[in-house]
Each structure stands twice: as C-alpha cells, then as structure tokens.
Structure 1
C-alpha cells in the first residue's frame, strides 16, 4: 500500500507492507524450496525405480545362482557318496587280492616241496638203478658158477635167471620212474617260475590297489570338504537372496514414498502459484 493515508493509519500501513514483504520473501523461499523438492523427488523417484528394477534383476540372478549352487551341492554330495562306495569296493578288492597272494605263496611253497620231493625220488631211483645193476651182475656170476657146478647147479641157474629178469625189470622200472620224475620236475620248475611271476604280479596289483584306495580316500575327503563348503555357500546365497528380496521390497516402498512426495510437492507448488510474488 503506497497511497497517502491519515497519519493515524500510517503505522498500520507500514506494518502491513512489512508483513506482506516478509510473506512474499517467505513464499518465494517456499516456492524455490518446492521447486528443489519437486526436482529432487523426481530424481529420487527415477533412481528408486531404476534401483527397484535392478534389484529385481539381481533377485532373479541370485535365485538362479542359489538353484545352481544347490544343484552343484547335490551333485558333489552324490559324488562323495559314490566315491565312498568305490573306496569300499577297492578295499574289498584289496582284501581279495591279498588273500589270493597268500594262496599263491602257499602254492609256491607247495611247488618247492614237490621239487624237493622230486629230487629225493630221483636220488632213490638212482640208488634202485645201481642196485638193479649190481643184482644183475650177481645173478650173472651166480649163473656162471651154476654152469660150472653142472647138474648140481641147475636149480641155481634157474634162480639166477629169475633174479636177472627181476633185476632187469627193476632197472627198466627205475629208468621209467626216473624219466617221469625228470619230466615232473621240469613241469614243477616251470610251475614254480609261473607262480613266482604270478606272486610278483599279485604284489604289484596289491600295491596298485592300495594306491588307488589312498587316492580314493583323498578324493572322498576332498569331495566331502567341497560338499561342506558348497553347503555354506548355499546358505550364504540363500541369505543374500532373502536380503535382496527384502531390499527389493524396501526399494519398492521407497519408490512409492518418493512418488508420493513428488506429487505432494507439485500440489504445494500449485497452491503457491496462486500467490502473486512479484
């Protein structure tokens, strides 16, 4: 108010003009603040929507990761179980091969005993052959002496002939037995060699099976540790998944709140536009 007034109303005019000026300044500040709030609320709303979209994508990715880790955990657990079964099977095979090795050692020992028995039989047949030769010589001498005795020695000649025949048969039998023993001895020696080779092979197999068992134990332990670690990872991913879902819900609420704030800021600006601040 700039018109001239009576002196009594001048203080009222000045006070009113001062109040209007203060209100204009306040409303101008409120208007500027409302513009800032409107812009900021729009930016927050846009950022919140973007964050909500990204959080939703992240939640989907985390869910897929959790499913993949769970599947890997199940696979590793199944692998650990199968390795344990294989380890048990190898342990059983190791026991069987060890028992087979003991049997081969016994068979080798038996072959060695047969070889020694063959040597003893060969010595006995040599003795029998010598006895047959000496007996044949004695029978021959007896026949000669009987021939010199004439008729008185005819009975001795028959006896000497029978002893000579018996000695010849004993010698032939001793020779046959010796040949059979030599053949058997050769076969026994061959069998001993084969059994020794089989013993060495079984020893190698037992050692290899033991090494396989050790490797399988290490694999089983590693698979068990991996299964435990993956279970921990699965729990951590589940926690992250739950937190991501909670964050997504909070971001959605924030987006809704920022949208409401922007709308209220626009309403407040509309109310301020009704004032003439110039």
Structure 2
C-alpha cells in the first residue's frame, strides 16, 4: 500500500471518527433531552388534568354543577365530545404530541374516558412484548404516579408498532386513573432535523476534509515517491538518475537534499574506489611477481645455507677427527719421550760398562783369572745391549710411523684449514709447522735407525768376540788390545747414541710443544666451527621463515588481487551518469 493511500486513510479516519462520535453523541444527547421534555410534558398535562378534576369536584361540592356534568366536562376538556359511535374526537388544545391523547381508567381497568373504546375493560390488554400495560399503568398511578413504556400499533398503520410512553396518576377525588400517552417519536420528531443537519454538516466536513487531505497527501506523497524511487535505484546500484527536485521546506526537503548529497558522494566514492581498485590490482600483480621471485630466491638461499651447514657439520667432524689424531700424537710423543729417557739411561749404563771393560783390559794382566767371569758379564751385557738396541729400533720405527702419520694429519689439517677460509689461516700455519717438524722427526728417526743398525752390528760382533774369547782364553791377551779398542769404539758409539738421543729428545719436546699449540688451534677452530654452525643453523631457520613469509605474502598478494577484482566487479555494477 502506498504511503499516500495510508495517509488518506489515516487522515479520513481522524476526520470521520471524531465527526461520527460528535454526531452520534449529539444525536443521542438531543434525543435524550427531547425524551425528557416529552416526559415532563406528559406529567405536567396529567397534573393539569388532576387540577381540572379538583376544580370540577369543588364546583360539585358547592352545588354549582352535578357530578355527572362535572365528569363529562372533564372528559370533554381532556379528550373531546362523545360521538354517536361511542368514541370521542380529540379536540383538546392540550399538546400531547402527534397521536397523543388522554385516557381515564377505573381501578379495575374499565375505560372511563377514551378516544377509541370508551366503556370497555382493558385490564387484559397486552402488547407484542407481553407487557400488560393497563395493569402497569394502574399500579404506577397507585404508587403516586409514574411512567409506563410499551409498544402499540401506529394509527392507520396496523402492521407497524412504535414505542409509547404513558404517565398515570390517581385522582383522589373520584378515584380515576388519569393517563396521558403518546408515541416516543412524537417527542423526538425534531431529532430527525438535528440528524439531518448533522449528516449534512458531517458530509460537508468530510468532503472538504477529503479535498484538503488529497491536496496535502499529494504535497507529501509526490516528494516521498520521488525519494523512494531514488532510494530504490540506489539499492539497485543505479546512480544515473538526476537529482531529486523537491520544493518542500520541511523534513522531506531536507531528506531529498540529503539523498542528493549522498548520491553525489556515492558517485565520487565509486569513482575513487574504482580507480583505487585498479591501482590495487596492478600493485598486487607486481607484488605477486616480486613475492614469487623473492620466494624462489629465498628457497635457493635456504638450500645453499643448508648445504653450507652440511659442509660445516662435515668440517666439524673432520676437526674432531684431527683433534683425536693430534691427541693420539701427543700421547705417542709422551711415550716416545719416556722411552728415550729410558734409552738414555741405558746408554749411560752402557757407557759405564764400557769404561769398566776398559779398566778390565788395562788390568788384564792382574785380573786374567777373572776374564772368564768378566767375559760372561760382558756377554750378558752385550745381549742386553742387543736387546735394548732392538727395542730402540722398534721405538725408532714407531717414531718414523708417528712422523708419517703426523705429516699426513698436518696435510689433512692444511686442507681443512683451506676449506675453512679466513677462520683456518692460523690453523694452516700451525699445520705447516707440524708437517715440517714431522718431516724433521722422520729424518732424525731414520738417522737414529741407521746408528742403531750399526750398534746392533757392533754388538753382534762383540758378542761373537766374547764368545770366541771364552773358547780361546789362552789367546786372550792377543785380543785384549782389540777388546780395548772395541770397548773404546763402544764408548764412542754410546756417547754418539747419547748425543743423538739428546737431540731426538729436544726435537720430541719441540714436537710436543707444537702439538700442544696444534691442539689449542684445533680447539679454537672447533669452537669457531661450532659457533659458525650455530649461526648457520639460525640463518637456515631465518631463511626458512623468510621463505614461508614469502609464500604467505604471495598467497596474500594473490588474495588481494582477487579481492581487488571482486571490488572492481562490484563497483562496475553501479551505474553513474
């Protein structure tokens, strides 16, 4: 339903309802007032009739007139003269309304005076509603006078009944029940004129009100319709309509102006959003391409860093192996030092034995008897010397092997230091020094091995000589000089061995010191490698996070591109001028 129709209906309702209420209330108020006037008129006329009877009764009492004449005059004055057919023509000037009349009843219902049926008994008269109106009238009169309401046929209209009212009172002089009755419509026939005037007034008011309402509703409905059409077009994303032209200087005019401003703002916003959406779409495409490139680069960086991390793990493992090898070298050097010390002690002991043998040779003459015993001692000493020489040879072999391993480890350490780059430069220098010392130790060990070989040969010759001395004790004196020379050579060789052992001991101590430096450098390199590995792991984690962020950024930029496309689609749905 349109707002204009609603406005007309509401306005007509506001016009009709009060008008009907006023008209109906006025009608019933006037009707009630006329009914009251009619009742008062009937009552006053009955009281007038009672006064007339009282005056006639006074005339009878004074002898001016007989009772029959007095009663007849009362009947004539109240109703009219008696006709030949027993009825009375209503000729009284008393106004009881149209079709109203007086009637006089006896206490038994006998009609003493009546316009139509005088002389008849009406005690059993009843109306269509079952009301015994004559009996009720007599009862009302006996109670001091009152009204009786009932229905009777309208004269000359036997099929039509109307409400009647009668006021009855009892005459104390003659015992008559005097009644004045009339139809209710006779009292309020003026209400019809009032009703007619109310209807005319109401009709004119409604007609004028409809014209005013129509014009006023048109004044309101047209702007509302224009505003509604504009709002519906806006709801359908159509901004191509012209501005609303409303001349109203009220809220509707303000509303129309507001919608015009809103439409203009929407047009500007749509254009701005459309332009921004295009820029966002282009930017999102660039961002997507950049994100994909960055994501690919970050993925490659992550793989490279992971490879570096794997290489550092291998390098750390190699450093651990080098550390273990150097630790083994250090332990071996310590053991070599101990063995060299023991060998030095044995050499000193051998020197002492050689000196002692020389003394024996010088005292050979005096102690020839002790040659056999001394030869046995010498033989045992030579065997011990041979055993120790063999042990020294084994030690030299160990030293040679250790030197070779040290050289190999130094070479590996130099390779790992070269891989470590800047962090391995110091370690490479130490590894080179270790390699040189290993080569020198190897060369010294080879020299010692040669000397030990000579000692072993000499020892074997000495043992053989001693054994022959046992057999040829008789010729011992001839060999004493040779034995002395041999002992001198042994002493010289032992001194040479002592010198070589001292040199080897010094070199071993230097190797031990360099080994400690190498161990410290390896530890430092290991710590640097561990720290580098930790940093690399952090870098790997950061690179992975960056790669994940790039992937998310790529997804977000694609989503942004889709949203900008959707925004462009939505904006394109709006129609503008």
Q: TM-score, normalised by structure 1?
A: 0.73
Tell whether the 8 Å contact from 1:73 to 1:227 is kept in structure 2 after alignment. Answer: yes
Give the superposition deviation at 1:17: 4.2
Partner of 2:201: none
1:193-232 correspondence to structure 2 within 5 Å: 193-232=492-531
Aligned equivalents of 2:267 and 2:516: distance in 1? 86
Partner of 1:240: 539
Instruction: Point out where structure 2 has 5 or more consecutive residues left out of the alignment.
Output: 1-240, 369-474
Partner of 2:314: 71
Partner of 1:89: 332
Tell whether the 8 Å contact from 1:28 to 1:277 is kept in structure 2 after alignment. Answer: no
1:113-132 correspondence to structure 2 within 5 Å: 113-121=356-364
1:78-227 correspondence to structure 2 within 5 Å: 78-121=321-364, 179-227=478-526
Tell whether the 8 Å contact from 2:244 to 2:260 is kept in structure 1 after alignment. Answer: no
| Cα displacement string for residues 87-106 of structure 1 (whole angstroms, at most 9, x for unaligned residues) | 11121112111111110111
> Which of 530, 544, 555 does residue 256 from structure 1 map onto?
555
Tell whether the 8 Å contact from 1:101 to 1:202 is kept in structure 2 after alignment. Answer: yes
Give the superposition deviation at 1:217: 2.0
Distance 1:109 1:19, change over 3 A: same
Distance 1:50 1:109, change over 3 A: same
Give the superposition deviation at 1:15: 5.3
Q: Which has the larger radius of gyration?
A: 2
Tell whether the 8 Å contact from 1:73 to 1:230 is kept in structure 2 after alignment. Answer: yes
Q: TM-score, normalised by structure 2?
A: 0.37
Q: Does 2:277 align with 1:34?
A: yes
| Count of residues in correspondence between the two structures | 229
Give the superposition deviation at 1:6: 7.5
Give the superposition deviation at 1:218: 1.8
| Cα displacement string for residues 40-66 of structure 1 (whole angstroms, at most 9, x for unaligned residues) | 222222211111111111111111111
Instruction: Point out where structure 1 has 5 or more consecutive residues left out of the alignment.
Output: 126-175
Distance 1:196 1:67, change over 3 A: same
Bigger mean CA deviation after superposition, 96-105 or 10-19: 10-19
Aligned equivalents of 1:221 and 1:44: distance in 2? 52
Distance 1:218 1:276, change over 3 A: same
More strand per residue: 2
Give the superposition deviation at 1:16: 4.7
Distance 1:193 1:228, change over 3 A: same
Tell whether the 8 Å contact from 1:114 to 1:188 is kept in structure 2 after alignment. Answer: yes
Q: Does 2:295 align with 1:52?
A: yes
Bigger mean CA deviation after superposition, 100-109 or 9-18: 9-18
Distance 1:193 1:119, change over 3 A: same
Give the superposition deviation at 1:179: 4.1
Bigger mean CA deviation after superposition, 225-234 or 17-26: 17-26
Larger RCO, structures 1/2 (Cα 8 Å, 6+ apart): 1
Aligned equivalents of 1:4 and 1:77: distance in 2? 89
| Cα displacement string for residues 60-79 of structure 1 (whole angstroms, at most 9, x for unaligned residues) | 11111111111110111011
Distance 1:2 1:65, change over 3 A: closer
Bigger mean CA deviation after superposition, 27-36 or 99-108: 27-36
Tell whether the 8 Å contact from 2:323 to 2:523 is kept in structure 1 after alignment. Answer: yes
Distance 1:82 1:199, change over 3 A: same
Tell whether the 8 Å contact from 1:90 to 1:209 is kept in structure 2 after alignment. Answer: yes
